[in-house]
Structure 1
């Protein structure tokens, strides 16, 4: 049975972050993968998004298709000898999200994606063969290519009373055009996608947002938006 996740996104002015964080914290615990600095649990997210030569994924979002998907490679933090990356298909139907993911060593990433070489590949995930096959099928069948690198600092939490809930503050969202997988950990040439704002994401598995989260959203008069880091990055890159 496929278990879809629901998510809501809000574009919020930076000056509201401290008070918004304070209101959320009684209901949250820091994400276990975060590094806590000055009391803030945070890590850097890096994604290379794939698209067809005629930018099918971009245009599907612009046209507002009810059902669509994105392909990306995701890494975290800085590049280390043992760094791993995630090959991910993100499917969206209205506000429901489902992902197929598989982790592979960064050192094998280019061989896997560009040459379909899987020898000596150590994988750690459920349904490894299926998820990897799905990703590679989409890349090859649709002729997908690296298009945009998107990097941001994620402040991440999960619910204290309902651990399936995740609340994240995505800050300093920046991007650059790219045609190379090797650019995943690049820092040069990045430009801000949104200025003086961050993205609040609330993710949950039940059909309805938890009452405490809904109450805070209403208190701050936040309005959900169909925000796409990839789509806005492509539009942003047209001017640079």
Structure 2
């Protein structure tokens, strides 16, 4: 598992075009961010995050633990008969991030989670590693009784560095969320609520040293480094509606998973 740095910043929406123009001499769009007559296209990222009955991973983030995991099922754009999804474990190891990832058809997802039979359903390149990563995901899924807690959806523009294509820049826009989704709601736009109206999330990802051009642009736009978690922020905005005790491990009677 290769580890990289991720630096995240909130940027006002009205500075999006200005920031993109400033970055373009140093980056090129990734394969999913197309350049057309109307400008750059974007794609939609959809993730269902899982947590334990005691919201263990949510509280690990809130308490600032240096070593923690996130478990999610990720898909892209709109559903079709060939839709592919990914089982992902995102690991934070001090100030670096690594990821385990396995690919399967969305239509096979329920069967995989029911049977645990990775050999029948996991596919794609680097299959031996993908099978191991899927086994890791399922180990936690069963041993920790993981349940779907938060659906996070956003529209992304993604770029790679021209001088080092391992540098990756993303603009995550219209970040929105709904809580307690089912697997069938991965591609749904219902019940979604904006997490940060008026802002998008800039992420700068690299393996060794942040490029000087990226640092210069961060300073030029007076951007502040933030410990942004779309998962925990997505839960936080629902507290105003559902009450903070809903997520408290000491209040089992209010925990939606307690009777499952």
What is the TM-score when the length of structure 2 is the normalising length? Answer: 0.88
Q: 2:158 aligns with which of 127, 146, 156?
A: 156
Question: Which residue matches 1:63?
Answer: 63
1:5-154 to structure 2, matched below 5 A, reads 5-36=4-35, 38-118=38-118, 120-121=120-121, 123-126=123-126, 127-154=129-156
Distance between the aligned counterparts of 1:8 and 1:90, measured in 2?
15
Distance between the aligned counterparts of 2:21 and 2:130, measured in 1?
40
Deviates more, 1:119-128 or 1:152-161: 119-128
Shift of 1:119: 6.3
Name the SS for the 1:9 alignment partner.
strand
Structure 2 gaps, min length 5: 242-260
Does the aligned pair in 2 maintain the 1:88–1:100 contact within 8 Å? yes
Distance between the aligned counterparts of 1:211 and 1:94, measured in 2?
23
Question: Would you identify which runs of 4 or more consecutive aligned residues in structure 1 move more than 4 Å?
Answer: none
Q: Deviations over 1:34-62 (max 9, x none)?
A: 34462113100000000001100100000
Distance between the aligned counterparts of 2:120 and 2:2, measured in 1?
32
Shift of 1:125: 3.3
Deviates more, 1:29-38 or 1:213-222: 29-38
Q: 2:206 aligns with which of 204, 207, 214?
A: 204
Question: Which residue matches 2:244?
Answer: none
Structure 1 gaps, min length 5: none
Question: Which residue matches 1:183?
Answer: 185
Question: Which residue matches 1:214?
Answer: 215
Shift of 1:121: 2.2
Distance between the aligned counterparts of 2:119 and 2:62, measured in 1?
39
Does the aligned pair in 1 maintain the 2:43–2:157 contact within 8 Å? yes
Change (3 A) 1:160 1:41: farther
Does the aligned pair in 2 maintain the 1:150–1:175 contact within 8 Å? yes
More helix, by proportion: 2
Name the SS for the 1:239 alignment partner.
helix
